[in-house]
Amino acid sequence: MGGGARRGNPGAGAAAGFSAEDILKEFMSGFGGAQARGGRQAGFDPFTAQQGFAGAGARQPQAKGEDANVTLAVSLEDAHKGGSVPLRLPTNKVVNVKLPEKVEDGQQIRLKGQGMTSPWGGEAGDAIVTVKFERHPKFRRDGADLRVDVPITLYEAVLGGKVRVPTLDGSAELTLPANINTSKALRLKGKGLHGTGDLYASLKIVLPEAGDPDLESLMRFWRDQKPYKVRD
């Protein structure tokens, strides 16, 4: 610049083609271009003279806790009727698990936020619950079908009659025909698991525990006078 500018001539900058406004615009446009190119810079603060980065002051998401794998033992009655079953988690917390409709053995249920806590302050993991059907004292499961042993007396097998049979919905009445062959199971349709399977009742003739002289005498007579073959 000329000497007049050095002496403080106020018009010197304008005469040279520069002004304070032009300099500031050029200065700011340089940072704007850097932001457009990098995509990460948040902008320049002319009052603090600091250049920030996007997200530098934002709260970063913390790592989530681990998922917990848990096995839920479910009785056939609970699986059949549905509802909720209590479960103790690895965190020692007890929750009620709502069973899905027609739940299956081995089916998994996700409980959001019921897993392990995050050591970094993030949200808790999930609990992955695997359904396991308990062994039943009476019923044997074959898919959706159930099988059950029904004890009957000798005279019921010969004369027929009505007997009560256990089901998942309570007992049901079963009619026995006379001279029934106990080697075959009787079917109760729709009395299996979830109402989609059937219940098969296997009849088992049970004799008096202490024995009976009259029955023994009758069987000797039958053996000698009216024998029949059941084996080849």
**What are the boundaries of each domain within the chain?**
68-133, 140-213
Q: Which residue has the higher pLDDT, 99 or 11?
A: 99
d(CA 193, CA 197): 5
d(CA 97, CA 99): 6
d(CA 127, CA 75): 21
Q: Residue 29's pLDDT band (boundaries 50, 70, 90)?
A: low
Mean pLDDT of the chain: 83
68-133 belongs to which homologous superfamily? Urease metallochaperone UreE, N-terminal domain (2.60.260.20)
Tell me if domain 68-133 and domain 140-213 are identical in fold. yes
Residue 138 has pLDDT above 60, yes or no: yes
Amino acid code (one letter) for 229: K
pTM above 0.75, yes or no: no
Place of tokens 């000798």: 154
Helix (H) or strand (E) holding 218: helix 213-225
Q: Residue 39's pLDDT band (boundaries 50, 70, 90)?
A: very low
* pLDDT tens, residue by residue, 187-217: 999 999 999 999 999 999 999 998 899 999 9
| Percent of the chain that is helix, strand, coil (3-state, to 5) | 25, 30, 45
* pLDDT tens, residue by residue, 71-113: 999 999 999 999 999 999 998 999 999 999 999 999 999 999 9
Q: How far is CA 32 from CA 24, 29, 49, 215, in A?
A: 12, 5, 14, 108
Name residues whose C-beta falls within 8 Å of residue 159's C-beta, 6 or more positions apart in sequence. Answer: 178
What is the CATH number that goes with domain 140-213? 2.60.260.20
